[in-house]
Amino acid sequence: MPEPIGTAAVLRSAYSAGELTTVEIADRVLAAIGDPTGNPIWISTVPAAQLRARAVELHERRDELAVLPLYGVPFAVKDNIDLAGLPTTAGCPEFAYRPDRTATVVTRLLDAGAMLVGKTNLDQFATGLTGTRSPYGRCESVFGGGLIAGGSSSGSAVVVAAGLVSFALGTDTAGSGRVPAACNGIVGMKPTRGLLSVAGVVPACRSLDCVSIFTHTPDDAATVFRVAHGVDPDDPWARPLPADRSAARPPATLRLGLPRAEDLDFFGDLGQRDRFAAGQDRVAVLVGETEPVGLRPLFEAGDLLYQGPWVAERLADLDDFLRSRPDAVLPVTRKVLESGRRYDGAQVFRARHRLQELRAWTDRLWQRIDVLVVPTVGTTFTIEEIDEDPIGRNTMLGRYTQFANLLDLAAVTVPNGFTEAGRPASLTLVGPAFSDTTLIRLAAALAAEPSPSGPTVSGPTAAEPTVSDPTVSKASDASDDDRVLLAVVG
């Protein structure tokens, strides 16, 4: 079984110390992706010769390490993000096209020295939160046991969790950058809309789409975010990060919102309920003060996405394809997309008006608190369980994520140990637009803090997951701040 690739921070230390070369990392990556796991995480990979050539080029430029923040760091991108030279499928072979240009956000990462390995599986057209809606196969969580990988950025989360790359890009409209992080025990950062360019990304809901970042550590997410963000003239949705918001606020100065118990629904999963209770306590000790917060306006906003007129936004770009090639679209995806046809123009505006009222409510919330902590998902499902009710259980998975982009929020998802049943738990720190760096800093403080029941990221149950797969093993990986990382190879 291939040795997991380290974090960007670990690789940087090793490159700096002369203990590692980009060529060695490229060879390890190639060995790992050549080792079939049966998990359909890749849709396409960069040809081996091309990856090696990139590694050689970077090796020859090793004196530029100081100015290349992602020097020699291997990464993957979700296959709805363009890379010149490989097709973009968006999870639909009949939709695939060969882009002339690489997406701006990918170019920024490459310019910073990163090495692109390949393009990952996803729920078709990034529509779904399960990872099971793909003709390229249904991804399983890195923890095995038939657990879903979560979606829509299923492959991107697994390739990071499995240690095949240091980081990956996903996209996040309803929670696609957070749910898969939860299902795979990693960090998922959903930046504020407009900070990472969506030029060269297949649209889901253009007004809401974000590029997201999967990493093992909040520090790595911070590094990738710093490189990846920046106003792109080719992206009409781009927004600059205001200068007065670019510095992270220290956790001790923050007011933390804690959800009222009656607003939390774990869909009967008491293990997740207990993990969240423990997790929010761990966040609470890091901040200045806490305040109870009602979540119902957030849920109402979130319901506009799949249970409301925003489904029609998905049709804005896809309807022609859907009408001309209906059989090319998976039945469940088609059903979701076609539900957008029942909304007329006035209904869209009416929902937009209601959303404005909910945004105003949320704006007032940010006068009382700086960060809100929520479960990432209320419960987890196996692939079989999703098959029993693919739309209803998808909706459950989105409960705590789908409001974020509608309400113009930023979010960082972090692992929160495992339930007694061995399922991964996760929590998400949510803040107003442009709170990105503050959220990452709080996530880093949380990751650095030993939890009452053991190390944060792995946790005692993580060390012995009861939902396991014969191929799952663990390996420790000293990060730059000496905390213990679990790299689980699927």
The residues that touch its own copies, with contacts defined as CB under 8 A, are 205-207, 233, 235-238, 309, 312-313, 315-316, 319, 340-341, 343-350, 352-353, 356-357, 359-360, 364
Q: Which of 80, 157, 71, 78 is nearest to 110 (CA)?
A: 71
DSSP-assigned beta bridge partners for residue 382: 147
Tell me whether residue 18 or residue 353 sits nearer to its own copies (CB atom).
353
Q: How many CB atoms lie within 10 A of CB 53?
A: 13
Q: Catalytic annotation on 152?
A: yes
Q: Catalytic annotation on 78?
A: yes
CB of 249 to its own copies, least distance (A): 20
CB of 207 to its own copies, least distance (A): 6
CB of 154 to its own copies, least distance (A): 26
CB of 464 to its own copies, least distance (A): 48
Tell me whether residue 38 or residue 240 sits nearer to its own copies (CB atom).
240
Tell me whether residue 142 or residue 315 sits nearer to its own copies (CB atom).
315
Tell me whether residue 97 or residue 349 sits nearer to its own copies (CB atom).
349
- Signed CA dihedral, 93, 96, 98, 104: sign only: negative
Tell me whether residue 207 or residue 468 sits nearer to its own copies (CB atom).
207
Select which of 176, 212, 426, 458 is catalytic: 176
Is 365 in a helix, a strand, or coil? helix
CB of 198 to its own copies, least distance (A): 11
Tell me whether residue 261 or residue 346 sits nearer to its own copies (CB atom).
346
Q: Catalytic annotation on 435?
A: no
Angstrom distance (rounded) from CA 75 to CA 363: 36
CB of 343 to its own copies, least distance (A): 3
Q: Which two tokens stand for residue 268?
A: 């009967």
Angstrom distance (rounded) from CA 27 to CA 158: 20
Q: Which two tokens stand for residue 328?
A: 């090319």
Q: How many CB atoms lie within 10 A of CB 240?
A: 13
User: In this structure, what are the phi and psi dihedrals at residue 412, rounded to the nearest 5 degrees?
Assistant: -130, 125
The torsion region of residue 482 among left (phi > 0), alpha (psi -120 to 50) and beta comes to left
CA 126 remoteness from chain centre: 12
Select which of 134, 141, 152, 426 is catalytic: 152
Q: Which two tokens stand for residue 149?
A: 């990988």
Burial class (CB in 10 A: 0-12, 13-18, 19+), 165: buried
Angstrom distance (rounded) from CA 219 to CA 7: 9
Catalytic center residues:
78, 152, 176
